[in-house]
A and B are shown apart, each in its own frame.
Chain A
């Protein structure tokens, strides 16, 4: 017998799941990514390196900055471009803006209705309007940063190999810093709400992150430092997303993985919150990815305030650094809000001749199936089928899956 879950709602993109039951026991859980393929690896071929980041941004609207930055970092590694420290800092700021926008969207509009038992955030407004408004305010602020540095709220083309098209003014950065500080107290409130969740899903035994907080030249998986080539990618018949394993085991990327492996970075109010909820985070249940996002949201706001003030006081070095080489190969690892994102190119004579992308939702496929399997085993037979389906969908949502991004990775 197969229990079919409906197409997931309150997630980005189109997917569903099925639970296979044989002789009264749960045997298998499959996540079926139905979103059509979008062929980015083919689309990048033959294009000038300059145009590629704008194209790659279109992989996903929720994290276009992460795609742009991963793309420019890969290109810069390939072509020997070294950008000045301000460019790095402004990119970091843009990525934090995206984390703020994305975490606020997920926590307040997509996941919160599960906790309060509503079909969506709109129906929560009569009773919990304040909370939703706070969420929208934080989300809008994240987008202000994306617009300032990325050029538009969605799919801006301002993040270029070698620098930015337009650079922000100092007053704009100071404004961002003040605004960020004022939002910390709202974000704090949401942490407590998500800390109340019961442990569910599988345990993230093998978390994977980039070697620095938002990017790096290596990946850290469990105790090891690796390149992504050392992971195994496996296509499956029932889904447009391939599965990724490390030494035969599913890995987990995202906010929970970051808090587990990058604790030392997190200071201030967020650091105190992390201490308070340490037990839950360290229990590694994937449901606490939501709690981890909430703590990281506080950290993001604090970091944005600090970083914008710093850039404003140091002054901005403008311009675009030209490439040293016309050919080469490079990888860009970036932490998208949902976890590790990989862009990898070979460039010849200024044109991309080979490319590969692996996105966080794709990395998490195996873990998502394992979580569904474990929870379905626990619940099957003891709860009515309708509520089983609903509970399982909540687990999928804890991953904050962004399905559009998972459907086109390749080794050409």
Chain B
């Protein structure tokens, strides 16, 4: 099978995280030939691929062109990481034109700047793996499943559940630390509460998230506008 990695505007983390599979990268290479992956290889091709991984947001015209090319060339397209699935940090900017002007003044820049948006708003995707960055186990499993012809399944529980399964002390209710775990998609194995810190919501919203419920609880700890800011770090609700 042929695999390609396409990077749009992002921090490079979701592409880099693939290299952090280390030895298991070799397992993937038993099933896949990587035909394009600009961070890791100078090879470029125009061939069709079976699986495309797309990271980052559509923030410029160049990004949009690359995304359309990726969609046209691939059988199965995976939105990889919170930038691609929900917009992540740059996606929460409210008015990119105004922000651009404040940062660069009247300079034009080398390509047209668009409002930063997740790729899911421009093209249909076959599967989405959120996370800033995503859990690399998850991408490994998904790629292995696809190689065997098995359609992967999305996780549909919040981070809270993973805390409970690990028997971590609840940072929100026991320690009064703001935590977005109750409304954030699980799959990271509650990494931040494991350190005694609150979840900052890097995997985006969980299914059936009860946001008003969480806001009520957070109001005891934080002023309302701060709650709104916290919620809007990785996604626009």
Contact = CB atoms under 8 A, between A and B. Distances in A.
B233 interface: yes
Contact of A240 (B8, B15, B109, B114): B109
A109 B57 CA distance: 26
Most central of B12, B29, B44, B88 by chain A CB within 10 Å: B12
A262 to B, nearest CB: 27
A400 interface: no
Nearest to A158: B195
B40 A37 contact: no
B11 A37 contact: no
B62 A34 contact: yes
B73 interface: no
Interface stretch (B46-54, B90-98, B120-128, B145-153): B90-98
Contacts of B114: 36
B103 A42 contact: yes
A8 B38 CA distance: 8
Given A105-B19, A155-B202, A37 B110 contact: no
A61 B133 contact: yes
B89 A165 contact: no
Interface in B40-77: 40-44, 57, 59-60, 62-63
Nearest to B222: A48
Interface string A35-46: 111111111001
A14 B164 CA distance: 41
A231 interface: no
Nearest to B66: A14
A10 B92 contact: no
A412 B40 CA distance: 36
Interface string A106-126: 000110010000011110000
Contact of B13 (A113, A155, A408, A412): A155
Most central of A6, A12, A58 by chain B CB within 10 Å: A58
Contact of A153 (B20, B100, B230): B20
Contacts of A346: none
Contact of B109 (A6, A55, A62, A239): A239
Given A34-B62, A235-B104, A51 B200 contact: yes
Contacts of B225: 46
Given A51-B230, A60-B11, A109-B19, A34 B103 contact: no
A240 B92 CA distance: 20
A120 B39 CA distance: 10
A120 B42 contact: yes
Contacts of B191: 151-152
**Dominant secondary structure at the A interface:** loop
B113 interface: yes
Nearest to A46: B229
B132 A62 contact: no
A402 B40 contact: no
Contact of B111 (A34, A153, A158): A34
A154 B103 contact: no
A9 B195 contact: no
Given A54-B200, A157-B192, A235-B105, A404 B41 contact: no
A410 interface: yes
A265 interface: no
B57 A36 contact: yes
Contact of A402 (B12, B22, B229): B12
A136 B62 contact: no
A36 B110 CA distance: 10
Contacts of A237: 107-110
Given A41-B103, A239-B110, A120 B41 contact: yes
Given A9-B44, A13-B12, A410-B102, A39 B133 contact: no
Contacts of A121: 40
B198 to A, nearest CB: 9
B34 interface: yes
A193 interface: no
Interface string A1-22: 0000011111111100000000
A380 interface: no
A122 B41 contact: yes
B13 A61 contact: yes
Contacts of A14: 7, 9, 38, 62
Contacts of B233: 51, 55
Given A36-B113, A122-B29, A238-B110, 15 more contacts: A12-B15, A13-B7, A14-B62, A34-B62, A35-B9, A36-B114, A38-B9, A38-B116, A48-B226, A58-B13, A61-B17, A119-B43, A120-B41, A158-B197, A165-B196
12 contacts: A7-B38, A9-B44, A10-B41, A14-B38, A34-B110, A47-B229, A61-B12, A154-B13, A154-B20, A157-B197, A404-B10, A404-B12
